[in-house]
Amino acid sequence: MKNKKPFRSRSNCIALRIAIFVVSITFASSAQTKQTNSESNLPPAKEIIAKFVNTIGGRAAFQKIQSHHMKGKFEMPAQGLSGDLEVFAKRPDRLAVKISLQGLGEILRGYNGAVGWSVDIATGPALLEGKMLDELRDQADFDGVLHSEKNYKSMETVAIADFEGVRCYQLKLVRNLGNEVMEYFDVKSGLLVGVVLNQETPLGAMLITSTLGDYRETAGVLFARKITQKIGPIEQVMTITSFKENQVPDSAFEVPGEIKPLLKK
């Protein structure tokens, strides 16, 4: 890797070890949530999800999009770290994330439909296995935002709750892997504004709270352009400044050179 420099801060090293395992664009010191209603007459989860899909543009419009190429800024304010963010995603399940941190180098993470990998500034290249690979495979599902019922064991509306000051329907979703996700949909707009889940990292499972905002239209579909993630004292802010659809070549998901030797072992 280029421009690699030694870390002067143990907290920076830990933060970077976590960072690339948390970044996901498809969609802790936990975000402030306050349950305000748990009545039995809450709308069913399927209805809330259907409203969300329609609000962002509809299933048909989303399925016309074959790939995304996003560019933007990645920041970890408390650690004084920032850099460029680039995300490639393509049907049916390919994902590649690159973070170029100023003065430190690149962090890479990807899945090409068969192999998952991470190139971490702090610990070097690694093939992902087990739960981390399973979670990355889920994140790489291009149509994940549509919340297909086949991907879930159960979907339940559990309450009306305040998420970061927004009145939301709180949904408890259990994916086929068994992992539980809490999602928060704005009661007024129908948009997804928050996600809370446990995710496997090199330091073990961690509670991650994501806040989504600044939805803007691309190719007839609304996408969140700002995502803030909190993991304990660590906050990561991803701001998308460029969004292009249907222009991603298969070469974007080639296994990095640092990973190829590991495939032979």
What tens digit of pLDDT does each residue of 224-265 get?
999 999 988 889 999 999 999 999 999 999 999 999 999 976
What tens digit of pLDDT does each residue of 62-81 get?
999 999 999 999 999 988 89
Q: Does 28 fall in a domain?
A: yes
Instruction: Determine the average pLDDT of the residues in 28-32.
Output: 41
- Tell me which of 20-24, 113-117, 187-191, 209-213 is least confident: 20-24
CATH number, position 103: 2.50.20.10
What average pLDDT is seen over the chain? Answer: 87
Q: Does 162 fall in a domain?
A: yes
Q: Does 24 fall in a domain?
A: yes
Q: Does 200 fall in a domain?
A: yes
The CA distance from 127 to 133, in Å, is 9
Range of the domain at 164: 14-246
Q: Does 258 fall in a domain?
A: no
The CA distance from 218 to 212, in Å, is 16
From residue 136, alpha-carbon distances to 77, 85, 165, 208 in Å are: 25, 18, 30, 15
The CA distance from 16 to 20, in Å, is 7
For tokens 């086949």, name the residue. Answer: 150
As for how many domains the chain has, the answer is 1
Q: Does 39 fall in a domain?
A: yes
pLDDT given at position 33? 56
Which SS3 state, helix, strand or coil, does residue 45 take?
helix
Q: Does 253 fall in a domain?
A: no
What tens digit of pLDDT does each residue of 139-183 get?
999 999 999 999 999 999 999 999 999 999 999 999 998 989 999
Q: Does 265 fall in a domain?
A: no
